[in-house]
Amino acid sequence: YPRVNILGINFTKITNQELLTQLKKDSCLHRNRFIVTANPEIVLFARKNKRYAAILNNADYTIADGIGIIKGAKLLNQPLPERVTGFDTLSALLEFANEKQKRVYFLGAKPEVITKLIAKVTQNYPQLVIAGYHDGYFKDEQIITHEIQQTAPDFVFVALGFPKQEFFINDYRNSSQALWMGVGGSFDVLAG
């Protein structure tokens, strides 16, 4: 998919539908993929942090999660088709994982939130396989990434907030041939 540069970030020109089709295909082919859902705060932070900007520009899909980014793109005469939210993408991928009995690793949020989230996922997506999970307040990254590697997930959802989650995924995505996505505060929302 072509990229559109908005304020230094190369956004992927893709619709919700196209992204989902593509991610399902990537998953079925066991490709390693990194999806960034970039909102305006993320774009502003990337303008001050070159290493973070490079990570965003090197992700496989950098999607525009904010109406301001869509408007900005239009003003710059480089339109992006539509807003694609991290939360909607996560929800759709959980549906897909449920349909296809895919393995999912959930990393992030507070201990009580992740526990609630796992209960909800078990209830609402009974066919989805919970490969593993851990709260987002760990000291040793190696222990976590070793566990991710051992449990061979198809999807790894990382809710550590930005920029932590993108730095983490960039460092460790090779530990598992999975689709990796930073999902910010989505676990808190899903846990209810």
Q: Can you give the C-alpha Rg of the chain in angstroms?
A: 16
153 is a site residue for ligand UDP (CB under 6 A): no
Helices marked H in 59-192: 67-75, 86-100, 111-124, 141-151, 164-172, 186-191
Q: Evaluate the omega torsion of the peptide bond into residue 163 and state whether it is cis, within 30 degrees of 0.
A: yes
40 is a site residue for ligand UDP (CB under 6 A): no
163 is a site residue for ligand UDP (CB under 6 A): no
Supply the minimum distance, in Å, between the C-beta of residue 183 and ligand UDP.
8
Region near ligand UDP per CB under 6 A, out of 20-28, 72-80, 106-114, 170-178: 106-114
**Residue 3 or 45 having the CB closest to ligand UDP:** 45
160 is a site residue for ligand UDP (CB under 6 A): yes
161 is a site residue for ligand UDP (CB under 6 A): yes
Alpha carbons 119 and 113: distance in angstroms, whole number: 10
- Report the interface residues with ligand UDP, using CB under 6 A: 108-110, 136-137, 159-162, 164, 184-185, 187-188
